[in-house]
Amino acid sequence: MPMPRCTRGRRAGRNNYQYFSEETSSAYRERLRVHAGVRHAVERGEFELHYHPKMDVRSGEIVGMEALVFWRHPESGLVSPAEFIPAAEETGLILPIGKWVFQEACRQNKAWQDQGLARLRVAVILSGLQFQQQRAGRRQQGAAIVRPRAPLPGAGDQ
């Protein structure tokens, strides 16, 4: 399969070549398996959040939480974010995953407050791709604000 050789060759820079090997083929098959698995996990809602407390070392009090997303794989069990986030970023699936993580963390924090627990900050780790999308969205919103709603004078005269 030429894709992994081509990708590896590009990463190595210009004017080089890569040999095909069983290891390359195996790595490519594993990568495809993870990509497909993440896509199915998004479709089936197989993600869950785990909250890690952030402590004030002086007082010993919990001052916040960090929300980490894990994949509850139907056969493999709990999958660490380190194992699937790179594939999610490569495929763009990090965007719907990140949106769900953010919404779920907010929903859970509100539920805790409704139960009488103290208000806590919840940290959510965002992908660089999510920041890029948000910046692009802000630029589009800004463009929509300055875009005239009516045709410019003389625009239809030609």
Tokens of 73: 């794989």
Task: Write phi, then psi, for 154 (nearest 5 degrees).
Answer: 80, 0
pLDDT attached to residue 63: 92
CA distance 133 to 117: 34
pLDDT attached to residue 87: 93
CA distance 100 to 67: 12
Query: Mapping DSSP to helix (H, G, I), strand (E, B) and coil, where does residue 77 land?
Result: strand
pLDDT attached to residue 127: 86
Question: Where do the domains of the chain lie, and which CATH numbers do they carry?
Answer: 2-14+21-145 (3.20.20.450)
pLDDT attached to residue 11: 57
pLDDT attached to residue 13: 62
* Tens-place pLDDT, residues 5-31: 445 555 566 676 666 666 667 777 888
- Point out the residues of the chain with pLDDT beneath 50: 1-6, 140-158
